[in-house]
Amino acid sequence: MNLKSIHKVYFIGIGGIGMSALARYFKFIKKNVAGYDKTETPLTRELTKLGIDIHYHDKVELISPEYFDSDTTLVVYTPAVPNTHIEYQYFLNAGFDIKKRSEVLGLITKDTFCFAVAGTHGKTTTSSILAHLLKETGTPLTAFLGGISEDFNSNFLLEGTEFSVVEADEFDRSFLRLSPNVACVTSMDADHLDIYGSGEELHKSFRDFTNRLKPGGKLFVRKGLPLEGITYGIEDGSDYCITNLRIEHGTYIFDLNTPEATLSGVKFNKPGRHNLLNGLVAFAMAVESNSPAHRLAEALETFKGVQRRFSYKIKNDDFVFIDDYAHHPTEINAVYDAISEMHPDKKVLAIFQPHLFSRTKDFADDFAESLSKFDAIILLDIYPARELPMEGITSEWLLGKIENPKKKIVQKEELIEEIKRQNPELLVTMGAGDIGLEVPKLKKELEYAN
Protein backbone atom coordinates (compact mmCIF):
# COMPACT_ATOMS: atom_id res chain seq x y z
CA MET A 1 0.00 0.00 0.00
CA ASN A 2 1.26 3.48 -0.90
CA LEU A 3 0.40 5.98 1.80
CA LYS A 4 0.66 8.81 -0.75
CA SER A 5 -2.48 7.54 -2.50
CA ILE A 6 -4.43 7.71 0.77
CA HIS A 7 -6.40 10.90 1.41
CA LYS A 8 -8.67 9.78 4.25
CA VAL A 9 -8.00 7.65 7.31
CA TYR A 10 -10.72 6.12 9.47
CA PHE A 11 -9.81 4.69 12.90
CA ILE A 12 -11.78 1.99 14.72
CA GLY A 13 -10.67 2.50 18.33
CA ILE A 14 -9.24 5.98 17.78
CA GLY A 15 -9.03 6.75 21.52
CA GLY A 16 -6.27 4.24 22.29
CA ILE A 17 -2.93 5.75 23.23
CA GLY A 18 -1.15 4.31 20.17
CA MET A 19 -4.07 4.86 17.79
CA SER A 20 -4.48 8.49 18.82
CA ALA A 21 -0.79 9.15 18.07
CA LEU A 22 -1.31 7.78 14.55
CA ALA A 23 -4.44 9.91 14.16
CA ARG A 24 -2.41 13.00 15.10
CA TYR A 25 0.25 12.05 12.54
CA PHE A 26 -2.22 11.72 9.65
CA LYS A 27 -3.98 14.93 10.64
CA PHE A 28 -0.60 16.69 10.75
CA ILE A 29 0.23 15.60 7.18
CA LYS A 30 -3.13 17.00 5.99
CA LYS A 31 -5.16 13.81 5.62
CA ASN A 32 -8.85 13.77 6.52
CA VAL A 33 -9.20 11.81 9.77
CA ALA A 34 -12.23 10.45 11.64
CA GLY A 35 -12.97 7.54 13.91
CA TYR A 36 -14.98 5.56 16.43
CA ASP A 37 -14.37 4.75 20.07
CA LYS A 38 -16.67 3.28 22.68
CA THR A 39 -16.14 6.02 25.28
CA GLU A 40 -15.18 9.68 25.36
CA THR A 41 -11.89 10.33 27.18
CA PRO A 42 -9.42 13.21 27.59
CA LEU A 43 -7.53 11.76 24.60
CA THR A 44 -10.56 11.76 22.30
CA ARG A 45 -11.46 15.28 23.41
CA GLU A 46 -7.95 16.43 22.43
CA LEU A 47 -8.40 14.81 18.99
CA THR A 48 -11.75 16.53 18.55
CA LYS A 49 -10.05 19.88 19.25
CA LEU A 50 -7.77 19.13 16.27
CA GLY A 51 -10.84 18.87 14.02
CA ILE A 52 -11.12 15.07 14.01
CA ASP A 53 -14.71 13.82 13.91
CA ILE A 54 -15.32 11.05 16.50
CA HIS A 55 -18.49 9.20 17.42
CA TYR A 56 -19.16 6.74 20.24
CA HIS A 57 -21.78 4.33 18.89
CA ASP A 58 -20.96 1.35 16.67
CA LYS A 59 -23.16 2.39 13.75
CA VAL A 60 -22.11 2.58 10.10
CA GLU A 61 -24.60 5.38 9.47
CA LEU A 62 -22.65 7.66 11.83
CA ILE A 63 -19.59 7.52 9.53
CA SER A 64 -19.24 10.51 7.21
CA PRO A 65 -19.96 9.45 3.57
CA GLU A 66 -16.56 10.72 2.40
CA TYR A 67 -14.92 7.69 4.08
CA PHE A 68 -16.86 5.19 1.96
CA ASP A 69 -14.44 5.50 -1.01
CA SER A 70 -12.29 2.37 -0.77
CA ASP A 71 -9.73 3.69 -3.29
CA THR A 72 -8.67 6.66 -1.15
CA THR A 73 -9.54 5.58 2.40
CA LEU A 74 -7.33 3.63 4.78
CA VAL A 75 -9.07 1.94 7.71
CA VAL A 76 -6.94 1.37 10.82
CA TYR A 77 -8.12 -0.80 13.71
CA THR A 78 -6.84 -1.86 17.09
CA PRO A 79 -6.66 -5.57 18.05
CA ALA A 80 -8.78 -4.66 21.08
CA VAL A 81 -11.79 -4.31 18.75
CA PRO A 82 -13.77 -7.59 18.57
CA ASN A 83 -14.39 -9.29 15.22
CA THR A 84 -18.12 -8.78 15.77
CA HIS A 85 -17.75 -4.99 15.63
CA ILE A 86 -20.34 -3.70 13.11
CA GLU A 87 -18.17 -0.99 11.54
CA TYR A 88 -15.19 -3.34 11.31
CA GLN A 89 -17.32 -5.98 9.56
CA TYR A 90 -18.70 -3.37 7.15
CA PHE A 91 -15.28 -2.18 5.98
CA LEU A 92 -13.96 -5.76 5.86
CA ASN A 93 -16.80 -6.97 3.63
CA ALA A 94 -16.78 -3.84 1.45
CA GLY A 95 -13.21 -4.51 0.30
CA PHE A 96 -11.45 -1.65 2.08
CA ASP A 97 -7.74 -1.65 2.86
CA ILE A 98 -7.89 -2.50 6.58
CA LYS A 99 -4.70 -2.53 8.61
CA LYS A 100 -3.70 -2.97 12.23
CA ARG A 101 -1.98 -0.06 13.93
CA SER A 102 1.33 -1.95 13.91
CA GLU A 103 1.20 -2.46 10.14
CA VAL A 104 0.67 1.25 9.57
CA LEU A 105 3.55 2.12 11.91
CA GLY A 106 5.75 -0.23 9.90
CA LEU A 107 4.78 1.50 6.65
CA ILE A 108 5.36 5.00 8.05
CA THR A 109 8.79 4.17 9.51
CA LYS A 110 10.26 1.78 6.93
CA ASP A 111 11.97 4.57 4.96
CA THR A 112 13.25 6.35 8.08
CA PHE A 113 16.17 5.63 10.39
CA CYS A 114 14.01 3.78 12.89
CA PHE A 115 14.63 3.39 16.63
CA ALA A 116 12.39 0.64 18.08
CA VAL A 117 11.97 0.01 21.82
CA ALA A 118 10.86 -3.51 22.78
CA GLY A 119 10.31 -5.26 26.11
CA THR A 120 7.48 -6.40 28.33
CA HIS A 121 8.14 -3.40 30.61
CA GLY A 122 9.63 0.05 30.07
CA LYS A 123 8.72 0.66 26.43
CA THR A 124 6.89 3.94 26.94
CA THR A 125 9.36 5.49 29.36
CA THR A 126 12.37 4.43 27.28
CA SER A 127 10.91 5.68 23.99
CA SER A 128 9.88 8.96 25.65
CA ILE A 129 13.37 9.50 27.05
CA LEU A 130 14.86 8.63 23.64
CA ALA A 131 12.57 11.09 21.85
CA HIS A 132 13.48 13.78 24.40
CA LEU A 133 17.23 13.17 23.98
CA LEU A 134 17.01 13.28 20.18
CA LYS A 135 14.86 16.42 20.19
CA GLU A 136 17.21 18.18 22.61
CA THR A 137 20.17 17.45 20.32
CA GLY A 138 18.40 18.70 17.20
CA THR A 139 17.65 15.36 15.52
CA PRO A 140 14.81 15.58 12.92
CA LEU A 141 12.50 12.88 14.26
CA THR A 142 8.93 11.66 14.42
CA ALA A 143 7.96 9.83 17.63
CA PHE A 144 4.92 7.66 18.35
CA LEU A 145 4.66 7.14 22.11
CA GLY A 146 2.52 4.86 24.26
CA GLY A 147 1.93 7.52 26.91
CA ILE A 148 1.72 11.27 27.36
CA SER A 149 5.23 12.71 27.60
CA GLU A 150 5.46 15.46 30.19
CA ASP A 151 8.17 17.05 28.05
CA PHE A 152 5.92 17.41 24.97
CA ASN A 153 2.51 17.12 26.70
CA SER A 154 1.64 14.67 23.93
CA ASN A 155 2.01 11.08 22.75
CA PHE A 156 3.23 12.31 19.35
CA LEU A 157 6.19 14.42 18.28
CA LEU A 158 6.99 15.63 14.77
CA GLU A 159 10.31 17.46 14.47
CA GLY A 160 11.21 15.95 11.09
CA THR A 161 10.90 12.70 9.15
CA GLU A 162 14.49 11.46 8.79
CA PHE A 163 14.43 9.55 12.10
CA SER A 164 11.58 7.78 13.89
CA VAL A 165 11.02 6.47 17.42
CA VAL A 166 8.42 3.75 17.98
CA GLU A 167 7.40 1.27 20.64
CA ALA A 168 7.81 -2.31 19.44
CA ASP A 169 4.79 -3.93 21.09
CA GLU A 170 4.92 -7.68 21.72
CA PHE A 171 1.12 -7.89 22.18
CA ASP A 172 -0.38 -9.79 19.24
CA ARG A 173 3.19 -10.01 17.80
CA SER A 174 2.75 -6.46 16.52
CA PHE A 175 6.49 -5.73 16.64
CA LEU A 176 7.12 -8.19 13.81
CA ARG A 177 5.77 -5.51 11.44
CA LEU A 178 8.74 -3.23 12.11
CA SER A 179 12.19 -3.09 10.47
CA PRO A 180 14.35 -0.97 12.79
CA ASN A 181 17.90 0.30 12.35
CA VAL A 182 18.45 0.39 16.11
CA ALA A 183 16.45 -1.59 18.66
CA CYS A 184 16.54 -2.49 22.32
CA VAL A 185 14.96 -5.15 24.49
CA THR A 186 14.42 -4.01 28.08
CA SER A 187 12.78 -7.14 29.52
CA MET A 188 11.24 -10.47 28.54
CA ASP A 189 9.05 -11.44 31.50
CA ALA A 190 6.13 -13.74 30.75
CA ASP A 191 3.03 -11.74 29.79
CA HIS A 192 0.19 -11.87 27.27
CA LEU A 193 -0.08 -15.64 27.80
CA ASP A 194 -3.57 -15.42 26.32
CA ILE A 195 -1.75 -14.72 23.04
CA TYR A 196 1.44 -16.77 23.41
CA GLY A 197 0.44 -19.71 25.60
CA SER A 198 3.89 -19.95 27.22
CA GLY A 199 6.89 -17.88 28.23
CA GLU A 200 9.07 -19.78 25.75
CA GLU A 201 6.77 -18.84 22.85
CA LEU A 202 7.02 -15.21 23.98
CA HIS A 203 10.84 -15.47 24.03
CA LYS A 204 10.77 -16.92 20.51
CA SER A 205 8.78 -13.91 19.35
CA PHE A 206 11.40 -11.56 20.81
CA ARG A 207 14.12 -13.49 18.97
CA ASP A 208 12.08 -13.14 15.78
CA PHE A 209 11.87 -9.40 16.42
CA THR A 210 15.64 -9.06 16.74
CA ASN A 211 15.94 -10.72 13.32
CA ARG A 212 13.86 -7.87 11.87
CA LEU A 213 16.76 -5.43 12.22
CA LYS A 214 17.89 -3.87 8.96
CA PRO A 215 21.35 -4.95 7.68
CA GLY A 216 24.00 -3.35 9.87
CA GLY A 217 21.45 -2.61 12.57
CA LYS A 218 22.34 -2.57 16.26
CA LEU A 219 20.58 -4.30 19.15
CA PHE A 220 20.87 -3.17 22.79
CA VAL A 221 19.96 -5.74 25.44
CA ARG A 222 19.70 -5.47 29.21
CA LYS A 223 22.46 -7.65 30.58
CA GLY A 224 21.20 -11.07 31.61
CA LEU A 225 18.54 -11.46 28.92
CA PRO A 226 18.93 -14.51 26.63
CA LEU A 227 19.75 -12.43 23.53
CA GLU A 228 22.96 -11.41 21.81
CA GLY A 229 23.56 -7.68 21.63
CA ILE A 230 25.27 -4.63 23.08
CA THR A 231 24.63 -4.86 26.82
CA TYR A 232 23.63 -2.23 29.36
CA GLY A 233 23.27 -2.36 33.14
CA ILE A 234 24.13 -0.96 36.57
CA GLU A 235 27.46 -1.90 38.21
CA ASP A 236 27.63 -5.15 36.20
CA GLY A 237 30.39 -4.64 33.62
CA SER A 238 28.01 -4.06 30.70
CA ASP A 239 29.09 -2.31 27.48
CA TYR A 240 27.09 0.72 28.65
CA CYS A 241 27.31 0.72 32.42
CA ILE A 242 26.35 3.00 35.32
CA THR A 243 28.90 3.11 38.15
CA ASN A 244 29.44 5.13 41.34
CA LEU A 245 25.68 5.56 41.74
CA ARG A 246 24.39 7.74 44.56
CA ILE A 247 21.23 9.68 45.43
CA GLU A 248 21.20 13.37 46.39
CA HIS A 249 17.91 15.20 47.05
CA GLY A 250 15.90 12.62 45.07
CA THR A 251 18.25 12.76 42.06
CA TYR A 252 20.48 9.93 40.81
CA ILE A 253 24.08 10.99 40.20
CA PHE A 254 26.47 8.56 38.53
CA ASP A 255 29.25 7.88 36.07
CA LEU A 256 28.19 6.60 32.66
CA ASN A 257 30.70 4.25 31.05
CA THR A 258 30.47 3.74 27.28
CA PRO A 259 32.72 1.65 25.02
CA GLU A 260 34.51 4.91 24.07
CA ALA A 261 34.56 7.05 27.22
CA THR A 262 33.34 7.70 30.76
CA LEU A 263 31.02 10.61 31.50
CA SER A 264 31.18 11.70 35.14
CA GLY A 265 28.52 13.31 37.33
CA VAL A 266 25.57 12.48 35.06
CA LYS A 267 22.18 13.28 36.64
CA PHE A 268 18.74 11.67 36.22
CA ASN A 269 15.64 12.77 38.10
CA LYS A 270 13.12 9.93 37.70
CA PRO A 271 12.96 7.60 40.74
CA GLY A 272 13.46 3.86 40.40
CA ARG A 273 16.36 1.82 39.10
CA HIS A 274 14.08 0.47 36.37
CA ASN A 275 13.71 4.06 35.13
CA LEU A 276 17.45 4.60 35.44
CA LEU A 277 18.01 1.56 33.19
CA ASN A 278 15.45 2.95 30.73
CA GLY A 279 17.39 6.21 30.64
CA LEU A 280 20.67 4.37 30.12
CA VAL A 281 19.50 2.38 27.10
CA ALA A 282 17.80 5.45 25.60
CA PHE A 283 21.15 7.23 25.89
CA ALA A 284 22.98 4.27 24.27
CA MET A 285 20.51 4.17 21.37
CA ALA A 286 20.66 7.94 20.87
CA VAL A 287 24.44 7.73 20.46
CA GLU A 288 23.68 5.91 17.18
CA SER A 289 22.15 9.13 15.80
CA ASN A 290 25.68 10.59 16.00
CA SER A 291 24.55 13.11 18.60
CA PRO A 292 27.40 14.16 20.92
CA ALA A 293 27.50 11.96 24.03
CA HIS A 294 28.03 14.90 26.40
CA ARG A 295 24.94 16.68 25.03
CA LEU A 296 22.87 13.52 25.40
CA ALA A 297 24.06 13.19 29.00
CA GLU A 298 23.02 16.80 29.70
CA ALA A 299 19.59 16.10 28.18
CA LEU A 300 19.11 13.08 30.48
CA GLU A 301 18.97 15.46 33.44
CA THR A 302 16.13 17.53 31.94
CA PHE A 303 13.77 14.61 31.19
CA LYS A 304 10.51 15.34 33.03
CA GLY A 305 8.74 12.01 32.72
CA VAL A 306 5.64 10.31 31.34
CA GLN A 307 2.15 10.62 32.75
CA ARG A 308 1.27 7.61 34.96
CA ARG A 309 4.91 6.42 35.13
CA PHE A 310 5.91 6.99 38.77
CA SER A 311 4.22 10.37 38.54
CA TYR A 312 4.21 12.49 41.67
CA LYS A 313 0.72 14.00 42.05
CA ILE A 314 1.31 15.39 45.55
CA LYS A 315 4.72 15.62 47.21
CA ASN A 316 5.31 17.32 50.53
CA ASP A 317 6.82 16.42 53.90
CA ASP A 318 3.55 15.09 55.34
CA PHE A 319 2.00 13.32 52.37
CA VAL A 320 3.10 11.85 49.01
CA PHE A 321 0.77 10.64 46.23
CA ILE A 322 2.31 8.67 43.32
CA ASP A 323 0.47 7.27 40.30
CA ASP A 324 1.86 4.49 38.08
CA TYR A 325 0.72 2.35 35.14
CA ALA A 326 2.09 -0.84 36.75
CA HIS A 327 -0.09 -3.81 35.77
CA HIS A 328 2.31 -6.77 35.97
CA PRO A 329 3.97 -8.19 39.13
CA THR A 330 7.45 -7.19 37.93
CA GLU A 331 6.27 -3.61 37.46
CA ILE A 332 4.65 -3.55 40.90
CA ASN A 333 7.94 -4.78 42.39
CA ALA A 334 9.77 -1.97 40.58
CA VAL A 335 7.36 0.61 42.00
CA TYR A 336 7.78 -0.84 45.51
CA ASP A 337 11.58 -0.76 45.19
CA ALA A 338 11.55 2.84 43.93
CA ILE A 339 9.32 3.96 46.82
CA SER A 340 11.54 2.11 49.31
CA GLU A 341 14.64 3.80 47.88
CA MET A 342 13.22 7.34 47.72
CA HIS A 343 10.83 7.30 50.71
CA PRO A 344 12.21 4.63 53.06
CA ASP A 345 10.44 5.80 56.23
CA LYS A 346 6.89 6.32 54.95
CA LYS A 347 3.95 3.95 55.50
CA VAL A 348 2.49 3.08 52.08
CA LEU A 349 -1.10 2.43 51.04
CA ALA A 350 -1.25 0.79 47.59
CA ILE A 351 -4.40 0.87 45.45
CA PHE A 352 -4.32 -1.62 42.59
CA GLN A 353 -6.78 -2.23 39.77
CA PRO A 354 -6.07 -5.63 38.14
CA HIS A 355 -6.06 -5.46 34.33
CA LEU A 356 -7.52 -8.42 32.37
CA PHE A 357 -9.01 -11.59 33.81
CA SER A 358 -6.42 -13.69 31.94
CA ARG A 359 -3.42 -11.79 33.36
CA THR A 360 -4.90 -11.92 36.87
CA LYS A 361 -5.37 -15.70 36.52
CA ASP A 362 -1.92 -16.35 35.01
CA PHE A 363 0.03 -14.34 37.61
CA ALA A 364 -2.23 -14.44 40.68
CA ASP A 365 0.42 -15.80 43.07
CA ASP A 366 3.01 -13.31 41.80
CA PHE A 367 0.54 -10.43 42.13
CA ALA A 368 -0.24 -11.52 45.69
CA GLU A 369 3.44 -11.68 46.61
CA SER A 370 4.17 -8.24 45.08
CA LEU A 371 1.18 -6.52 46.67
CA SER A 372 1.74 -8.10 50.09
CA LYS A 373 4.92 -6.01 50.51
CA PHE A 374 3.02 -2.74 50.93
CA ASP A 375 1.86 -1.64 54.37
CA ALA A 376 -1.79 -1.70 53.29
CA ILE A 377 -3.57 -2.74 50.09
CA ILE A 378 -6.84 -1.78 48.43
CA LEU A 379 -8.01 -3.74 45.39
CA LEU A 380 -10.49 -2.45 42.83
CA ASP A 381 -12.54 -4.77 40.66
CA ILE A 382 -10.74 -6.32 37.66
CA TYR A 383 -10.74 -4.08 34.58
CA PRO A 384 -11.85 -6.37 31.73
CA ALA A 385 -10.60 -4.34 28.72
CA ARG A 386 -11.10 -6.67 25.74
CA GLU A 387 -12.08 -9.74 27.77
CA LEU A 388 -15.24 -11.40 29.05
CA PRO A 389 -15.34 -12.48 32.71
CA MET A 390 -13.76 -15.82 33.69
CA GLU A 391 -15.52 -17.95 36.26
CA GLY A 392 -13.87 -17.69 39.66
CA ILE A 393 -11.35 -15.02 38.62
CA THR A 394 -12.26 -11.97 40.69
CA SER A 395 -10.59 -9.40 42.89
CA GLU A 396 -12.05 -11.24 45.90
CA TRP A 397 -10.18 -14.37 44.76
CA LEU A 398 -6.93 -12.42 44.37
CA LEU A 399 -7.42 -10.70 47.73
CA GLY A 400 -7.59 -14.11 49.41
CA LYS A 401 -4.06 -14.85 48.20
CA ILE A 402 -2.54 -11.64 49.61
CA GLU A 403 -0.75 -12.26 52.91
CA ASN A 404 -1.30 -8.96 54.64
CA PRO A 405 -3.89 -8.22 57.34
CA LYS A 406 -4.44 -4.67 56.04
CA LYS A 407 -6.20 -5.54 52.79
CA LYS A 408 -9.67 -4.89 51.42
CA ILE A 409 -11.74 -4.40 48.27
CA VAL A 410 -13.22 -0.95 47.72
CA GLN A 411 -15.48 0.40 44.98
CA LYS A 412 -14.21 3.44 43.09
CA GLU A 413 -16.91 5.73 44.45
CA GLU A 414 -15.80 4.87 48.02
CA LEU A 415 -12.07 5.43 47.48
CA ILE A 416 -11.80 8.98 48.82
CA GLU A 417 -13.59 8.12 52.05
CA GLU A 418 -11.45 5.00 52.58
CA ILE A 419 -8.15 6.80 51.88
CA LYS A 420 -9.05 9.54 54.34
CA ARG A 421 -9.98 6.91 56.92
CA GLN A 422 -6.63 5.14 56.56
CA ASN A 423 -4.71 8.45 56.39
CA PRO A 424 -1.51 7.05 54.76
CA GLU A 425 1.82 8.84 54.65
CA LEU A 426 2.29 7.73 51.04
CA LEU A 427 -0.43 6.68 48.59
CA VAL A 428 0.32 4.88 45.32
CA THR A 429 -2.28 4.06 42.66
CA MET A 430 -1.43 1.35 40.11
CA GLY A 431 -3.09 -0.26 37.10
CA ALA A 432 -3.58 -0.05 33.34
CA GLY A 433 -7.39 0.22 33.32
CA ASP A 434 -9.55 3.25 34.03
CA ILE A 435 -7.99 3.90 37.44
CA GLY A 436 -6.08 6.72 35.74
CA LEU A 437 -9.37 8.61 35.36
CA GLU A 438 -9.80 8.54 39.15
CA VAL A 439 -6.39 10.11 39.81
CA PRO A 440 -7.37 13.77 39.15
CA LYS A 441 -10.36 13.39 41.50
CA LEU A 442 -8.17 11.86 44.20
CA LYS A 443 -5.55 14.57 43.80
CA LYS A 444 -8.12 17.34 44.13
CA GLU A 445 -9.66 15.86 47.29
CA LEU A 446 -6.36 14.89 48.92
CA GLU A 447 -4.64 18.21 48.18
CA TYR A 448 -7.46 19.92 50.00
CA ALA A 449 -7.33 17.43 52.89
CA ASN A 450 -3.54 17.80 53.27
Binding residues for ATP: 119-125
**Helix/strand/coil percent split, the chain, to 5:** 40, 25, 35
Dist. CA 201–CA 187, nearest whole Å:
15
Give the distance between the most distant pair of CA atoms in the chain.
63
Q: Is 247 helix (H, G, I), strand (E, B) or coil?
A: strand
Annotated binding site: 119-125
DSSP H helical segments within 288-434, as ranges? 293-301, 329-342, 357-362, 364-371, 395-401, 415-422
Dist. CA 101–CA 291, nearest whole Å:
30
Do the Cβ atoms of 17 and 43 come closer than 8 Å? yes
Burial class (CB in 10 A: 0-12, 13-18, 19+), 357: buried
Q: Which of 189, 18, 196, 228 is nearest to 102 (CA)?
A: 18
Contacts of residue 2, defined as CB under 8 A and 6 or more positions apart, other chains included, come to: none
* Residues forming a β-bridge with 407: 377
